[in-house]
């Protein structure tokens, strides 16, 4: 029975901003779905608030709305577009929740929109704990003994029954948000209290602890004829207790017999039927007791998930694409297997390689956050690798993570017995370093049994880790590294670099090892991911490397361009770079064979459908060189593009060029001109541009001297960083010394010589009260095309990746715009850019400062592209292969005359707002880490608000970023620092006009009183150190105080919005408690005055409730029409 | 195309060498027993259940290549074997497990293979081998290790040509009759199990052992049947003497064309009107009894992920398969069974493999008989097709009540 004929238009909801637990994988699934629906002739209406996605590209849907995923906005879109059906299963929990809300609000019924993919009843059966338990029982499975609670008293009663440890899971949250394991009453109340809050239904499940059990996942699909397949089983190497998103996972399963696996499969199939997922996919998690094989069903997601993206990449079975077809009424046997093109999709992939996924964490961004891994996901990204065996696969995955110290290392002395004892103790609580601890302990002589006892990692995996160590020791101790041993080392997943270190040759020894390996003729071969373990011929060129005999690469006729992707998502290098890479692939594919290299399973770029060839490989010099060499044998290669994937590929540029690999676009020398402080300073001097005064330092003394010369406050950071890692605003000598000493501690011991760092710290003048601007531009050597000029809403000092910004700029004058254009042209010329460049500027007292330049795609490129209706990365890709901007204007990729650097009257305004992950990060005693924004980037994702003017667009951006958006009345708490107090009264008057009641600390209230503005006074918060939660706070009531401090008021739900501008970093603890409480309560809070004035304008817009809805297709037509006039 | 396709024709005495009939050579490490073995080489794509695979009598006289990269992780236990011994003639894997991790394990696979004298090879490019077998077709091969690599007279390493000559002396699978060598010698009984344990059997099934897997009688026993497993040499009269409610023909090794005695036996069973169910080899014999031909597949169906469509319901099931031969019958139409001028009435192809449209099941409309080419008993593999045992039980129930089938 072919597809349904009664559906001609479908609305797809995306997953919104990238947050922990819901990342780029939904761009991959949503993009697949949109493509499938359009291929089927369906009119697609897409809604997603995240502009940095391929799915929101104009050609992916018929009408694309970059709008908040909120019921009132969705209803407007539904009223305008009148879709026949809504497909909510491909946009993560966000889309599922949005569909439930639309259903409950009666919107679906009112406009006669059918929910396809999953019914509301099925969603509820899958997500509601009690209903799901019944399904599991009926399926013949077991659930952990548990009960549901809505209050802490109920929680206590349940634990009396079950005993500790217990797992607490809130209902209807994603990525395990708010869940955790409690071993005692303190932990229980902290976790359950937060969980009840985070659950939209204020409900938590409390269940028996099964920590240490083996953990598995199944990805299943079902069609309307009740055919079910298991696409892929996944085994978690970390046992139950660590969220699967934070675990190292492997596919398929390695430590179950067929009987056990089939039992799990039977239960899984009965569950997908019982829940009633009629057309689509689901993910089910299981725990298996290693002592006796007892199976417990943990949970299921009745939708496409992160794990399904992983399973799709791991097997070549495109779950989202097939889910979309099933939703249209196809059955599995009617759908072809893309890869073989000869067999149907109604089969279960079988694989003849090992897939390993390793999570990428960002704890370094959140000092003070508890590094313990729990059932609440904390990783920000992941890398996947495929290998011929587990060791090879693990080694490749660990080096794909692109964190230098995360690969196994045997540098230095063998760990002592005391250290081994320490390590065994440390590894018993899971952290991101657990596998390093295990490897070190094994090196120090720990037995496999000891490792198992400490970690409960299955003995099979422990043995594999021990074998890696054994091979490493052989490499280290062998007199000569003969071909056989070197091959063994490669099969154990050791990189040339690791081998060089084992041979005591240092970093440079990597080249020696490579030459030796090549002399031995020892090169990786490339095998195909084919869904069928070679049983059938595979037509899709999706490759991975391994050390074996036969390579399966095919010869090419067309010239090839290799595009290096950005690797695992991390803070500062996220989905935006995948977006730009995909654009290059799409655009260059017209004239070249595009070859994509990447290792991030959550992305569109690693969809085997996107490029002519896909290499799922680590982005290291060794791996990239081998691909280049192998491809050169298959046909002509024009070169490698490094400027689109962010810092990871960019950092390979110089070495690749030195190895005679042609780098397309901006040359490595030019990259260095922009990235090297001294050289860039030269460029600026030559072009008569200002930079904030700066200096460099290798030691405490040098740093102090530099800071005194520049004048405090200063911005300190290490050189060559992305996303401002390790940056800090420093106000005095004490803070500066602390910073430098910390940097010395963090640098590897063997690189610090007599108190000096191996590479310099950069110290800049910090620009206070300045306006910061981001400019994205294209340069072809001759002409400059401004992609967009984005004005930050916050003042300078907030990392550009965390700041809200607006395009077109809201306050810049024509003259300032002209100066920005001229400066950008000078820098692009001075550095010799070919392709994209991003420059960050600041105007302080109308003086233009150049803060930094990045000769590559920046994270604002997707936003600027969407806001200006021009695909900048596509144009950049063509410039990189030698075409001019004039040609791009002629072929319609760029505007024919002007560019994105002018403001057209009547043009829509786009506001980008950042989304921050603070909720996920808590200190060891359960407090939220400080949310203060600074020069260190911390946001994971972004949203775009799009409307006719800045206030409306800003209001939408807030609605998209925070559930509920801005309040329009209620209680606002104000606490501002002395510098900001002058700006406050006018704002306060406005708030009162809106109908807000003002609450303030004594100091702020006193200023307001002098302006005749009444406010309620709250107590100051006594300074509490965040490591001593239980220290009782002494109560000092202020005069006229309501007798409560603001944290109490936030916790009891009185406060609706907060303005809290911080003092300097040294005296921030008071503000910290406020910000932490606000995060916990999910309140909108603002930390700068400029942003708050935007907020006031936006509240006015919200009150009017006159948002405009415009699809980006309409927007682009409007812009091109304006240009023609 | 194959940048590293250095045909490794040099080896040392400590290596194991796999030589294919067409001259391809793979050098790896010895695995299991040391020695030599020559037989047809086939591959299985199952990701789980190596213990069931090894003990499946249908693999008699076949060297099995596992596509799954890690084998032996869960060791061996006393519950999962499908028969009393390992039947494969040789074993080819990529990475044998260095340890055993499973609560049910009683021993390691490595030890078990060595103890049972199964010669194997490991750490070769199994994917290259499988791709070759897929395109060239299955063929004869030999695994050599230890002293068999040496010339007994001189003690020098043998040449590839010498090994190849030995491979080419092995018999081809086409034309081999093997079911007698794997069948039980004595009749034995499996009593009702599970919820029927200790109860009076609902039905008695005579199961002709042509290489039967242990799970098959178990699946019947779970449904209340007493299963009388009889040797392949059983006579029709001996079957009648058991007063069975139905007759079952099992899976088994070898060429179905070399099986006239059991085909004749089956025709007698069908003529007598016994409800009949056949699996795998039993399906091929059923096809032959009805007058269809059989043929050898290029590389066979061996794995547990193959989609089979039940033509009567339109539903797809994921199946375990292990067959190198198939029945040649027309798909999509009901025809009079060719044997004896339609003596057995109308028949149609009830199941097909969706990957390549190979016949996976036959069903008669006028006599109570059907069969499938794949393995509804699974072991190893998915349980999707377990309903076929219910069908057989229903068939016996109807026959017992004297109901007419599909009248």
For A:330-369, CB contacts with B below 8 A are 331-333, 342-344, 346-354
Q: How confident is the model at residue A785 (pLDDT cuts 50, 70, 90)?
A: very high
Residue B284, marked binder: yes
User: What tokens appear for A1041 in the block?
Assistant: 């105080």
What is the per-residue pLDDT for A727? 66
What is the per-residue pLDDT for B403? 62
Numbered ranges of CATH 3.50.30.20 in chain B: 16-169
pLDDT 10s digits, A17-58? 988 888 888 999 999 999 999 999 999 999 999 999 999 999
Contacts for A682 with CB less than 8 Å, ≥ 6 apart: none
Using a 10 angstrom Cβ sphere, with 0-12 exposed, 13-18 middle and 19 or more buried, the burial of residue A150 is: middle
For A:261-280, CB contacts with B below 8 A are 261-262, 265-266
Numbered ranges of CATH 3.40.50.880 in chain B: 179-401
For B:18-47, CB contacts with A below 8 A are 26, 43, 45-47
User: What tokens appear for A852 in the block?
Assistant: 């930094």
Q: Is B280 a catalytic residue?
A: yes
Q: Is the ipTM reported for this complex over the cut 0.90?
A: yes
B97 at the A interface (CB within 8 A)?
A: yes
Contacts for B202 with CB less than 8 Å, ≥ 6 apart: B192, B196, B223, B224, B225, B393, B397
Task: Catalogue the E-assigned strands of A651-702.
Answer: 663-664, 694-697
A368 conformational bin, left if phi > 0, alpha if psi -120 to 50, beta if neither: left
A945-953 mean pLDDT: 94
Q: Please give the Cα distance from A90 to A29 (Å, whole number).
A: 6
Beta bridge partners of A753: A756
What is the per-residue pLDDT for A934? 56
Q: A913-1104 is classed in which CATH architecture? A: 3-Layer(aba) Sandwich (3.40)
Handedness of CA A57, A63, A66, A69 (dihedral sign): negative
Instruction: Quote the DSSP letter at residue A599.
Output: -
B12 Cα to chain A: minimum distance (Å) = 13
What is the per-residue pLDDT for A451? 98
B314–A225 CB contact, under 8 Å: yes
What is the per-residue pLDDT for B235? 97
**Mutation choice for B interface testing from A222, A259, A544, A547 by most B CBs within 10 A:** A259
Q: Write the residue in A255, A259, A549 that is nearest to B128 by C-beta.
A: A549
Chain A residue with the nearest C-alpha to that of B127: A534
A635 at the B interface (CB within 8 A)?
A: no
Contacts for A990 with CB less than 8 Å, ≥ 6 apart: A1096
- For residues A37 and A324, the answer to whether their CB atoms sit within 8 Å is yes
- For residues B373 and B323, the answer to whether their CB atoms sit within 8 Å is yes
Q: Please give the Cα distance from A931 to A154 (Å, whole number).
A: 32
pLDDT 10s digits, A216-260? 999 999 999 999 999 999 999 999 999 999 999 999 999 999 999
Mean pLDDT of chain B: 95
What would you report as the CA-atom Rg of chain A, rounded to the nearest whole angstrom? Answer: 28
From A649, A642, A648, select the one nearest A664 (Cα to Cα).
A642
pLDDT 10s digits, A993-1005? 999 999 998 888 9
Q: Which residues of B touch A140 (CB under 8 A)?
A: none
Instruction: Tell how strand A970-975 and strand A204-208 pair up.
Output: unpaired
Beta bridge partners of B362: B349, B371
B101–A389 CB contact, under 8 Å: no
B366 Cα to chain A: minimum distance (Å) = 29
From B297, B248, B261, select the one nearest B43 (Cα to Cα).
B297
Chain position carrying tokens 């002739």: A41
Instruction: Quote the DSSP letter at residue A848.
Output: E
CB A815: neighbour CB atoms within 10 A? Answer: 9
What is the per-residue pLDDT for B2? 40
Q: Is B375 a catalytic residue?
A: yes
pLDDT 10s digits, B23-67? 999 999 999 999 999 999 999 999 999 999 999 999 999 999 999
pLDDT 10s digits, B80-121? 999 999 999 999 999 999 999 999 999 999 999 999 999 999
Chain A residue with the nearest C-alpha to that of B124: A548
Taking the mean position of all CA atoms in its chain, how far away is CA A191?
25
Instruction: Quote the DSSP letter at residue B1.
Output: -
CB B119: neighbour CB atoms within 10 A? Answer: 27
Instruction: Tell how strand A166-170 and strand A204-208 pair up.
Output: antiparallel
SS (H, E, C) A438-491: HHHHHHCCCCHHHHHHHHCCCHHHHHHHHHHHHHHHHHHHCCCCCHHHHHHHHH
A521–B6 CB contact, under 8 Å: yes
Residue A1027 has pLDDT above 50, yes or no: no
Instruction: Quote the DSSP letter at residue B385.
Output: G
Cis amide leading into A1017 (omega within 30): no
Mean pLDDT of chain A: 89
What is the per-residue pLDDT for A749? 54
Residues written for chain B? 407
B217-225 mean pLDDT: 97
Chain B residue with the nearest C-alpha to that of A457: B101
Q: How confident is the model at residue B135 (pLDDT cuts 50, 70, 90)?
A: very high
Q: Please give the Cα distance from A300 to A313 (Å, whole number).
A: 20
Using a 10 angstrom Cβ sphere, with 0-12 exposed, 13-18 middle and 19 or more buried, the burial of residue B305 is: buried
Q: How confident is the model at residue B246 (pLDDT cuts 50, 70, 90)?
A: very high
B319 at the A interface (CB within 8 A)?
A: no
Looking at CATH, the fold of the domain delimited by B179-401 is given as Rossmann fold (3.40.50)
Q: Which of B280, B301, B317, B364 is catalytic?
A: B280
**Mutation choice for A interface testing from B2, B14, B69, B324 by most A CBs within 10 A:** B69
A563 Cα to chain B: minimum distance (Å) = 23
A483 at the B interface (CB within 8 A)?
A: no
Coil vs helix vs strand at A949: coil
The rounded percent of chain B whose pLDDT value lies above 90 is 96
Q: Is B197 a catalytic residue?
A: no
What is the per-residue pLDDT for B58? 97
End-to-end CA distance of chain B: 60
Q: Which residues of A touch B49 (CB under 8 A)?
A: 257-258
Q: Please give the Cα distance from B316 to B310 (Å, whole number).
A: 6
B3–A633 CB contact, under 8 Å: yes
A468 at the B interface (CB within 8 A)?
A: no
Chain position carrying tokens 């059932």: A375
Q: Which residues of A touch B307 (CB under 8 A)?
A: 332-333, 343-344, 346-347
For A:534-593, CB contacts with B below 8 A are 534-537, 548-555
Coil vs helix vs strand at A145: coil
Q: How confident is the model at residue A144 (pLDDT cuts 50, 70, 90)?
A: confident
What is the per-residue pLDDT for A24? 85
A99-113, A914-928, A1095-1109, B310-324: which has the minimum mean pLDDT? A914-928
A350–B305 CB contact, under 8 Å: yes
User: What tokens appear for A152 in the block?
Assistant: 């802490």
B79 at the A interface (CB within 8 A)?
A: yes
A350–B303 CB contact, under 8 Å: yes
Q: Please give the Cα distance from A686 to A831 (Å, whole number).
A: 11
pLDDT 10s digits, A540-562? 899 999 999 999 999 999 999 99
Give the dihedral of Cα atoms A739, A740, A746, A749; nearest 10 deg: -160
Looking at CATH, the fold of the domain delimited by B16-169 is given as Glucose Oxidase; domain 1 (3.50.30)
Using a 10 angstrom Cβ sphere, with 0-12 exposed, 13-18 middle and 19 or more buried, the burial of residue A910 is: buried
From A1109, A1110, A1108, A1115, select the one nearest A869 (Cα to Cα).
A1115
Cis amide leading into A491 (omega within 30): no
Q: Please give the Cα distance from A390 to B4 (Å, whole number).
A: 22
Residue A847 has pLDDT above 60, yes or no: yes
B3–A226 CB contact, under 8 Å: no
A266-270, A587-591, A678-682, B282-286: which has the minimum mean pLDDT? A678-682
**Number of CB pairs, chain A paired with chain B, less than 8 A apart:** 186
A360 Cα to chain B: minimum distance (Å) = 27
What is the per-residue pLDDT for A631? 98
A396: part of which helix (H) or strand (E)?
Answer: helix A390-400
Q: Write the residue in A252, A257, A549 that is nearest to B104 by C-beta.
A: A257
SS (H, E, C) A1108-1125: CCCCHHHHHHHHHHHHHC
For B:375-394, CB contacts with A below 8 A are 378-383
- For residues B245 and B275, the answer to whether their CB atoms sit within 8 Å is yes
Q: Please give the Cα distance from A33 to A323 (Å, whole number).
A: 8
A333–B79 CB contact, under 8 Å: no
- For residues A762 and A717, the answer to whether their CB atoms sit within 8 Å is yes
Residue A1023 has pLDDT above 50, yes or no: no
Residues written for chain A? 1125
Residue A718 has pLDDT above 50, yes or no: yes
Opening angle at CA A251, ends A249 and A257, nearest 5:
110
User: What tokens appear for A721 in the block?
Assistant: 């960083």
Beta bridge partners of A387: A354
- The correct answer on CATH 3.30.310.80 for the domain covering A9-116 is no
- For residues A549 and B125, the answer to whether their CB atoms sit within 8 Å is yes
User: What tokens appear for A158 in the block?
Assistant: 């349940």
- For residues A808 and A741, the answer to whether their CB atoms sit within 8 Å is no
Residue A1074 has pLDDT above 80, yes or no: no
CATH code: domain A145-209 is 3.30.1490.20
Chain A residue with the nearest C-alpha to that of B132: A534
Q: Please give the Cα distance from A215 to A250 (Å, whole number).
A: 11
């Amino acid at each position: 029975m072919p597809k349904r004929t009664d559906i001609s238009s479908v609305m797809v909801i995306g997953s919104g901003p990238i947050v922990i637990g819901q990342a780029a994988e939904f761009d991959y699934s949503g993009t697949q779905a949109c493509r499938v629906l359009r291929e089927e002739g369906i009119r697609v209406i897409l809604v997603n608030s995240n502009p940095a996605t391929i799915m929101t590209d104009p050609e992916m849907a018929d009408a694309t709305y970059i709008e908040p995923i909120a019921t009132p906005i969705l209803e407007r879109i539904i009223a305008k577009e009148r879709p026949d059906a809504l497909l909510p299963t491909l946009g993560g929990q966000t889309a599922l929740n949005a569909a439930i809300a639309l259903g409950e609000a009666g919107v679906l019924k009112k406009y006669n929109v059918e929910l396809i993919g999953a019914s509301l009843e099925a969603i509820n059966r899958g997500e509601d704990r009690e209903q799901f338990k019944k399904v599991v029982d009926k399926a013949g499975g077991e659930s952990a003994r548990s009960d549901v609670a809505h209050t802490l008293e109920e929680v206590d009663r349940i634990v009396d029954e079950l005993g500790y440890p217990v797992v607490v899971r809130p209902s209807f949250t994603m990525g395990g948000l708010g869940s955790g394991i409690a071993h005692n009453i303190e932990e229980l109340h902290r976790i359950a209290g937060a969980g009840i809050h985070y659950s939209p239904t204020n409900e938590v499940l409390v269940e028996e602890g099964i920590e240490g059990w083996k953990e598995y996942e199944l990805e299943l699909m079902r069609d309307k004829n009740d055919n079910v397949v298991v696409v892929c089983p996944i085994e978690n190497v970390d046992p139950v207790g660590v969220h699967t998103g934070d675990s190292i996972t492997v596919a398929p399963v390695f430590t179950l017999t067929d009987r056990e696996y089939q039992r799990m499969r039977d239960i899984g199939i009965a569950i997908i039927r019982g829940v009633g997922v009629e057309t689509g996919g689901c993910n089910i998690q299981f725990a298996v007791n290693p002592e006796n094989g007892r199976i417990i069903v943990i949970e299921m997601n009745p939708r496409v998930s992160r794990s399904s993206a992983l399973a799709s990449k791991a097997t070549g079975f495109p779950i989202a694409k097939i889910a979309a077809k099933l939703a249209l009424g196809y059955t599995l046997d009617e759908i072809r297997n893309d890869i073989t093109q000869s067999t149907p999709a109604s089969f279960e992939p079988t694989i003849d390689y090992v897939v390993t996924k390793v999570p990428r964490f960002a704890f370094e961004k959140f000092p003070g956050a508890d590094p313990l891994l729990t059932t609440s996901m904390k990783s920000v990204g992941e890398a996947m690798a495929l290998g011929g065996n587990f060791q090879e696969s693990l080694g490749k995955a660990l080096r794909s993570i692109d964190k230098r110290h995360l690969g196994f290392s045997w540098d230095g002395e063998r760990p002592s017995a005391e250290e081994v004892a320490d390590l065994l103790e440390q590894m018993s609580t899971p952290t991101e370093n657990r596998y390093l601890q295990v490897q070190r302990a094994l090196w120090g002589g720990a037995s496999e049994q000891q490792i198992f006892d400490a970690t409960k990692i299955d003995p099979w995996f422990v043995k594999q880790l021990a074998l890696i160590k054994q091979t490493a020791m052989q490499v280290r101790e062998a007199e000569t590294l003969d071909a056989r041993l070197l091959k063994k080392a490669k099969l154990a997943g050791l990189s040339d670099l690791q081998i060089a270190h084992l041979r005591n040759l240092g970093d440079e020894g990597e080249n020696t090892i490579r030459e030796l390996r090549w002399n031995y003729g020892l090169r990786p071969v490339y095998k195909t991911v084919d869904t069928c373990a070679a049983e059938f011929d595979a037509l899709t060129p999706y490759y991975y490397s391994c050390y074996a005999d036969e390579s399966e690469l095919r010869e090419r006729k067309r010239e090839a361009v290799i595009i290096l992707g950005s690797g695992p998502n991390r803070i500062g290098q996220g989905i935006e770079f995948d977006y730009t890479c995909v654009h290059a692939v799409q655009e260059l594919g017209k004239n070249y064979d595009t070859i994509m290299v990447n290792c991030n399973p959550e992305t569109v770029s690693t969809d085997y459908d996107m490029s002519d060839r896909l290499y799922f490989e680590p982005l290291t010099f060794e791996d990239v060189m081998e691909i280049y060499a192998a491809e050169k044998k298959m046909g002509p290669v024009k070169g490698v593009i490094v400027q689109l994937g962010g810092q990871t590929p960019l950092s390979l540029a110089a070495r690749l060029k030195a190895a005679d690999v042609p780098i397309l676009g901006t040359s490595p020398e030019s990259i260095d001109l922009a990235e090297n402080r001294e050289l860039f300073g030269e460029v600026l001097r030559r072009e008569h541009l200002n930079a904030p005064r700066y200096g460099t330092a290798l030691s405490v003394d040098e740093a102090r001297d530099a800071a005194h010369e520049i004048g405090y406050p200063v911005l300190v950071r290490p050189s060559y960083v992305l996303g401002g890692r390790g940056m800090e605003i420093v106000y005095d000598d004490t803070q500066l010394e602390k910073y430098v000493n910390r940097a010395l501690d963090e640098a590897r011991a063997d690189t610090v010589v007599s108190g000096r760092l191996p590479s310099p710290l950069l110290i800049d003048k910090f620009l206070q009260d300045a306006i910061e601007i981001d400019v994205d531009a294209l340069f072809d050597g001759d002409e400059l095309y401004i992609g967009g000029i984005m004005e930050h809403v916050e003042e300078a000092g907030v990392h550009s990746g965390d700041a809200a910004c607006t395009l077109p700029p809201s306050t810049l004058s024509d003259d300032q715009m002209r100066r920005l254009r001229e400066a950008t042209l000078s820098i692009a010329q001075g550095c010799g850019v070919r392709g994209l460049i991003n420059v960050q500027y600041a105007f302080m007292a109308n003086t233009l400062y150049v803060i930094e330049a990045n000769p590559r795609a920046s994270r604002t490129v997707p936003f600027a592209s969407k806001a200006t209706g021009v695909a900048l990365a596509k144009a950049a890709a063509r410039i990189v292969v030698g075409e001019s901007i004039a040609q791009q204007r002629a072929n319609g990729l760029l505007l024919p005359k002007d560019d994105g650097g002018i403001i057209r009257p009547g043009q829509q305004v786009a506001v980008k707002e950042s989304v921050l992950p603070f909720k996920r990060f808590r200190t060891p005693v359960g407090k939220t880490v400080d949310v203060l924004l600074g020069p260190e980037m911390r946001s994971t994702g972004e949203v775009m608000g799009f409307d006719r003017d800045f206030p409306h667009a800003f209001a939408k951006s807030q609605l998209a970023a925070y559930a509920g958006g801005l309040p329009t009345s209620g209680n606002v708490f104000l606490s501002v620092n002395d510098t900001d107090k002058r700006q406050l009264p006018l704002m306060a008057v406005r708030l009162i006009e809106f109908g807000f009641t003002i609450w303030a600390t004594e100091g702020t209230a006193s200023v307001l009183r002098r302006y005749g503005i009444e406010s309620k006074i709250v107590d100051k918060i006594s300074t509490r150190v965040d490591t001593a939660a239980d220290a009782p706070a002494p109560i000092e009531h202020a005069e006229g105080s309501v007798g409560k401090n603001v944290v109490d008021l936030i916790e009891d739900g009185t406060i609706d919005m907060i303005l809290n501008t911080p003092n300097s970093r040294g005296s921030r603890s008071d503000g910290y408690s406020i910000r932490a409480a606000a995060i916990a309560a999910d309140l909108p809070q603002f930390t700068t005055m400029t942003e708050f004035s935007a907020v006031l304008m936006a509240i006015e817009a919200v009150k009017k409730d006159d948002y405009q809805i415009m699809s980006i297709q309409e927007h682009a037509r409007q812009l091109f029409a304006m240009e023609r006039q | 195309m194959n940048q590293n396709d250095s045909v490794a024709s040099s080896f040392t005495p400590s290596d194991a060498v796999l030589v294919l009939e067409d001259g391809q050579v793979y050098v790896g490490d010895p695995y299991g027993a040391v020695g030599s073995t020559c037989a047809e080489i086939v591959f299985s794509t199952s990701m789980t259940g190596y213990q069931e695979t090894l003990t499946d009598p249908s693999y008699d006289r076949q060297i099995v290549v596992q596509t799954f990269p890690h084998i032996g992780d869960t060791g061996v236990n006393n519950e999962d074997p499908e028969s009393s011994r390992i039947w494969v003639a040789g074993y080819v894997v990529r990475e044998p497990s260095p340890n055993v991790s499973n609560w049910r394990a009683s021993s390691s696979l490595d030890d078990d293979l060595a103890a049972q004298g199964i010669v194997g090879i490991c750490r070769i490019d199994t994917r290259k081998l499988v791709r070759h077998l897929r395109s060239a077709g299955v063929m004869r091969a030999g695994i050599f290790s230890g002293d068999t690599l040496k010339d007994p007279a001189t003690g020098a390493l043998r040449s590839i040509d010498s090994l190849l000559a030995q491979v080419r002396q092995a018999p081809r699978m086409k034309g081999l009759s093997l079911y007698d060598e794997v069948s039980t010698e004595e009749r034995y009984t499996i009593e009702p199990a599970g919820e029927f344990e200790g109860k009076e059997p609902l039905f008695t099934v005579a199961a002709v052992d042509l290489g039967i897997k242990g799970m098959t009688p178990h699946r019947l026993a779970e449904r209340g049947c007493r299963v009388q497993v009889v040797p392949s040499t059983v006579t029709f009269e001996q079957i009648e003497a058991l007063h069975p409610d139905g007759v079952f023909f099992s899976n088994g090794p070898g060429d179905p064309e070399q099986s006239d005695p059991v085909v004749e036996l089956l025709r007698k069973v069908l003529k007598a009107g016994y409800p009949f169910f056949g699996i795998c080899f039993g399906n091929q014999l059923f096809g032959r009894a009805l007058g269809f031909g059989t043929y050898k597949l290029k590389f066979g169906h061996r794995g547990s992920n193959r989609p089979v469509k039940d033509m009567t319901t339109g539903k797809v099931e994921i199946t375990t398969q292990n067959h190198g031969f198939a029945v040649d019958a027309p798909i999509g139409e009901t025809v009079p069974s060719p044997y004896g001028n339609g003596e057995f009435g109308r028949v149609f192809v009830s199941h097909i493999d969706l990957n390549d449209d190979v016949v996976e099941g036959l069903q008669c409309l006028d006599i109570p008989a059907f069969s499938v080419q794949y393995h509804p008993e699974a072991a190893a593999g998915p349980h999707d097709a377990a309903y076929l045992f219910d069908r057989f039980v229903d068939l016996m129930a109807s026959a017992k009540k004297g109901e007419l089938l599909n009248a």
